[in-house]
């Protein structure tokens, strides 16, 4: 899967932080490191698809 653009919805950014303890820049870092993707489900809003993203972050300070 090739991603050329990210569209950040406010509710998704909030959910990433509150439910998953993940920051927006951490998501972008994982995306830049050729992660694995897994389709989860179509969203309630028909234009959204929910995808699980698996990758590694660099340790802090490196």
Please tell me the pTM assigned to this model.
Answer: 0.64
pLDDT single digits (tens) 15-43 = 889 998 989 998 888 888 877 777 766 66
Under the phi-then-psi rule, with left for phi > 0, alpha for psi from -120 to 50, and beta for the rest, what region is 34? Answer: left
Angle at 39 between CA 59 and CA 44, to 5 degrees: 110
Cα separation, 16 vs 23, whole angstroms: 7
Position with higher pLDDT, 30 vs 59: 30
Residue with tokens 């994982």: 30
The per-type count for the chain, helices as H runs and strands as E runs, is 2, 2
């Amino acid at each position: 899967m090739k991603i050329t653009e990210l569209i950040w919805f406010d509710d998704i950014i909030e959910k990433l932080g509150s439910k998953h303890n993940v920051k927006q820049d951490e998501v972008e870092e994982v995306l830049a490191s050729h992660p694995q993707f897994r389709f989860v489900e179509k969203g309630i809003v028909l234009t959204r698809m929910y995808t699980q993203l698996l990758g590694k972050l660099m340790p802090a300070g490196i």
